[in-house]
Amino acid sequence: MSGHEMEISLTRGELARATGCNIETIRYYEKTGLLPDPPRTAAGYRIYAAAHVSRLRFILRARELGFTLEDIKGLLGLEDGTVPTCAEVKARTDRHLADVRAKIADLHRIESALAQTAARCSGADVPHCPVLDALDRY
């Protein structure tokens, strides 16, 4: 849209539907400061603007990528009140990528151990089971 795009006004339920985010999650993000409190009407209703939609979509996408809420606060500059530099964002992303890769390596080890253990099991209807024996050893 152009710089003259129409400002939107959404209720919390409409914001939830527009972003696919649960209402309780929106409340939580407001409580933790990730999502700024919206202005209220004279009747006390919260009115969310396009900026809230964009910010919430950013938060949800970052969560999909596995960033923690603390990481997201840093990406948004909420930790120290400043806009993070590209170098700071890259460092945070590199740390997260290293964590993801470590988790993937752990999952590969788990997969291998489970495959080896399951291969020893006949699956027959007998009282002795190699899977249970293997689990009992740990």
Q: Average pLDDT for residues 116-134, to the nearest whole number?
A: 85
Same domain, 102 and 135: yes
Same domain, 11 and 63: yes
Q: pLDDT tens digit string along 51-65?
A: 999 999 999 999 999
Same domain, 108 and 61: no
The greatest distance separating any two alpha carbons of the chain, rounded to the nearest whole angstrom, comes to 73
Domains in the chain: how many in total?
Answer: 2
The reply to whether 80 falls in a domain is no
Same domain, 45 and 3: yes
| Contact (CB, 8 A) for 117 and 134 | yes
Q: pLDDT tens digit string along 95-104?
A: 999 999 999 9
The reply to whether 55 falls in a domain is yes
The reply to whether 73 falls in a domain is no
Q: What is the extent of the structural domain holding 105?
A: 85-138
The per-residue pLDDT for 138 is 59
pTM score, two decimals? 0.77
